[in-house]
């Protein structure tokens, strides 16, 4: 808890004859993170180079490319297939040898045929569009070409014009623009071009067809329809092939991906002419099991050693080590950055607090039920996305449940009051009929939000002390960093003690339990607060005196930033109540008292306002309820102790869904 899974640095060496056995065994266990060997010509590495793939790597890669090309045509992928049955890998490899050439040939033939049809369709459409303007001119297409001493100009023009040289002109005004055709002697071509350009002339290509425009258009239209039918037939056959082979292709893709990864593994090893070395990391609790398996697979002709030398934590891969309920929050952690190996992992705090803060902000039973319905609707789609989609579904589900629970506690249902008074704090505003005397407990909500900020910042500084102790090298720098974190907490709590010594928060709020106050001993409390602030400033200045300039930001500003929890929540309630007021009080209720045709229209308008207004507020609730808690964790909490930047643990081996060895 609060730290990644312990890792052990392992070196595996053997003769090249054992390479295939070692790779197969490591791939089977799927827990060994390989550190790629980089040939940099270092001293002591003479004769050591990057390995070469196994002999079948090329054929495997070619087959994988064929399958993914077919999947691209089918617009499918293994991640989108959820109904594929588990099959033995050898059966799938046999299908690759027997079925893939036939499938590839059939799909390639269809795609080529479809591509040719699409090319011909574009050509026909282009020729039809080019010929249409000429349909307005009463000339056959042969008359536009074949002259030695005549030039022909055709195109669109802004307006008709008088041409000053001898010519033959056809001008047609149309709703889509004016069209003009001019015949003139070639010696006058430059003069005509200049006069046409002054009139906004845009030339078009002269037709190469013969006969009438109508006949040419009909010819291309027939060809267009024919090629369109060919394309549709190809698409229909591709859909049939997709239904027939999509599951098989997903399984083949998985098996070949595994085989290619194994075949290309030597590219990550350090090798000599006779031997190889694999450098990597493995969970500490799996070292004995993997060592025994490698010895068994190679007949004990492999050398496995645990490297206990000091290694920078930035080079150690990080695997989360969280309980199952906290794993969905790893999605948010990876969006920010994975922790370093020796760094505290705050995933559990994020897993607990994100849904609680979401519910605290939105806190409406009606919206919570809508979010729950949304989660169930998206469930099938999200689960197809694999582990990430599953985590996203659980996050949405947790936020929906929290919103519903807080809605019961706040007594809110689409901005309306439930049959009981709010159990914790009232957020109802004096908006609408029956709510004239509603008094939201704004002060209480703001106090709770600010106190939550104090707790978050204090815990963040405490975590910062632990991280500096664990991650920094022993010495004065580590001591100064730890004291600085302690100093920031002293400053924060000193300011809080001073506030409590002059202000009794119970006078401004109505909590069931009295809040702590120090107004009874203002002198003693003031002295304690001042001492805390002074000592805190000294500790901070020991590390860096310039950091004292950030006291307003790193204390009061970040603490008060948590007040957005109350503010955003109250704004959501206000929007919901305004929507209800506009829909019911301004439209529906007056119309119901005197129902007629106009009243029915008013009721319809009111219902539309009700639906659209709450739909907008639901969307804003998702945005505000998710964005602000995440921001508070990323900006106000993580910046106190968290660096991130850890290497993601990627064990050698693909997790199988459709095949088994």
Q: Are 235 and 111 in contact (CB under 8 A)?
A: no
In the chain, % of residues over pLDDT 70: 99
Per-residue pLDDT at 537 exceeds 90: yes
Q: Tell me what pLDDT residue 161 has.
A: 86
pLDDT in tens, 454-507: 999 999 999 999 999 998 888 999 999 999 999 999 999 999 998 888 887 777
Using DSSP's 3-state secondary structure scheme, residue 145 falls into coil
3-state secondary structure 416-450: EECCCCCCCCCCCCCCCCCCCCCCCCHHHHHHHHH
Q: Tell me what pLDDT residue 526 has.
A: 87
Count Cβ atoms below 10 Å from residue 178 Cβ, excluding itself. Answer: 19
pLDDT in tens, 74-129: 988 887 776 777 888 898 899 888 889 999 999 999 999 999 999 999 999 999 98
3-state secondary structure 579-595: HHHHHHHHHHHHHHHCC
Count Cβ atoms below 10 Å from residue 285 Cβ, excluding itself. Answer: 11
Per-residue pLDDT at 359 exceeds 80: yes
CA distance 399 to 364: 12
Report the mean per-residue pLDDT for the chain. 90
pTM above 0.85, yes or no: no
Q: What contacts 204, CB < 8 A, 6 or more positions away?
A: 130, 133, 154, 155, 156
Lowest mean pLDDT among 259-268, 516-525, 583-592: 516-525
Band the pLDDT of 552: cuts 50, 70, 90: confident
Band the pLDDT of 207: cuts 50, 70, 90: confident
Give the mean model confidence (pLDDT) for residues 346-358.
95
Q: Are 4 and 341 in contact (CB under 8 A)?
A: yes
Per-residue pLDDT at 42 exceeds 70: no
**Stronger pLDDT, 359 or 515, i.e. the higher one:** 359
């Amino acid at each position: 808890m609060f730290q990644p899974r312990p890792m052990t640095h392992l070196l595996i060496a053997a003769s090249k004859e054992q390479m295939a056995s070692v790779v197969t065994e490591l791939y089977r266990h799927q827990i060994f993170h390989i550190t790629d060997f980089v040939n940099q010509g270092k001293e002591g590495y003479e004769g050591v180079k990057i390995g070469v793939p196994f002999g079948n790597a090329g054929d495997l890669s070619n087959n994988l490319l064929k399958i993914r090309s077919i999947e691209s045509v089918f617009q499918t992928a293994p991640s989108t297939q959820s109904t594929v049955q588990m099959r033995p890998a050898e059966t799938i490899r046999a299908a690759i040898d027997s079925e893939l050439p036939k499938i590839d040939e059939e799909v390639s033939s269809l795609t080529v045929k479809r591509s040719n049809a699409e090319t011909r369709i574009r050509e026909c459409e282009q020729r039809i569009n080019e010929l249409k303007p000429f349909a307005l001119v009463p000339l056959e297409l042969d008359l536009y070409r074949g002259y030695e001493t005549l030039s022909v100009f055709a195109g669109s023009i802004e307006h008709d014009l008088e041409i000053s040289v001898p010519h033959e002109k056809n001008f047609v005004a149309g709703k889509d623009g004016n069209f003009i055709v001019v015949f003139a002697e070639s010696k006058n071509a430059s003069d005509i071009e200049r006069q046409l350009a002054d009139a906004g002339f845009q030339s078009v290509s002269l037709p190469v067809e013969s006969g009438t425009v109508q006949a040419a258009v009909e010819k291309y239209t027939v060809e267009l329809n024919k090629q369109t039918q060919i394309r549709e037939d190809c698409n229909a056959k591709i859909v049939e092939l997709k239904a027939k082979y999509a599951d098989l292709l997903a399984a083949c893709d998985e098996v070949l991906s595994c085989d290619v990864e194994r075949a290309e593994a030597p590219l990550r090893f350090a090798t000599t002419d006779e031997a190889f070395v694999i450098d990597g990391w493995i969970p500490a609790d799996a070292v004995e099991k993997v060592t025994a398996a490698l010895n068994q697979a190679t007949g004990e002709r492999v050398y496995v050693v645990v490297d206990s030398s000091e290694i920078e934590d930035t080079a150690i891969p990080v695997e989360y080590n969280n309980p199952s309920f906290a794993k969905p929050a790893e999605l948010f952690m990876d969006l920010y950055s994975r922790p370093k190996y020796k760094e505290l992992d705050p995933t559990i705090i994020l897993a607990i607090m994100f849904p609680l803060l979401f519910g605290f902000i939105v806190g409406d039973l009606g919206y919570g039920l809508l979010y729950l319905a949304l989660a169930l609707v998206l469930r099938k789609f999200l689960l197809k996305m694999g582990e990430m989609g599953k985590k996203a579904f659980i996050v949405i589900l947790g936020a929906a449940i929290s919103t519903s629970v807080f809605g019961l506690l706040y007594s809110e249902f689409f901005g309306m009051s439930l049959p009981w008074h709010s159990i914790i704090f009232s957020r109802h505003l004096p908006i609408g009929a029956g709510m004239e005397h509603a008094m939201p407990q704004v002060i209480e909500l703001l106090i709770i939000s600010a106190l939550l900020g104090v707790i978050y910042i204090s815990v963040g500084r405490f975590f910062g002390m632990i991280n500096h102790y664990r991650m920094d090298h022993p010495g004065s720098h580590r001591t100064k960093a730890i004291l600085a974190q302690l100093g920031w907490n002293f400053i924060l709590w000193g300011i809080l003690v001073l506030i409590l010594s002059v202000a009794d928060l119970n006078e401004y709020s109505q909590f069931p339990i009295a809040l702590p106050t120090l107004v009874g001993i203002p002198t003693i409390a003031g002295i304690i607060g001042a001492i805390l602030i002074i000592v805190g400033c000294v500790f901070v200045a020991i590390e860096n005196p310039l950091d004292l300039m950030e006291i307003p930001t790193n204390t009061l500003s970040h603490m008060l930033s948590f007040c957005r929890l109350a503010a955003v929540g109250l704004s959501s309630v206000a929007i919901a109540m305004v929507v209800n007021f506009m829909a019911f009080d301004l439209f529906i209720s007056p119309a119901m008292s005197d129902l007629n045709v106009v009243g029915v229209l008013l009721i319809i308008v009111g219902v539309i306002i009700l639906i659209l207004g709450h739909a907008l507020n639901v969307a804003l609730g998702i945005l505000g309820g998710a964005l602000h808690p995440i921001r508070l964790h990323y900006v106000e909490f993580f910046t106190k102790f968290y660096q991130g930047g850890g290497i993601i643990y990627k064990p050698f081996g693909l997790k199988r869904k459709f095949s088994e060895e």
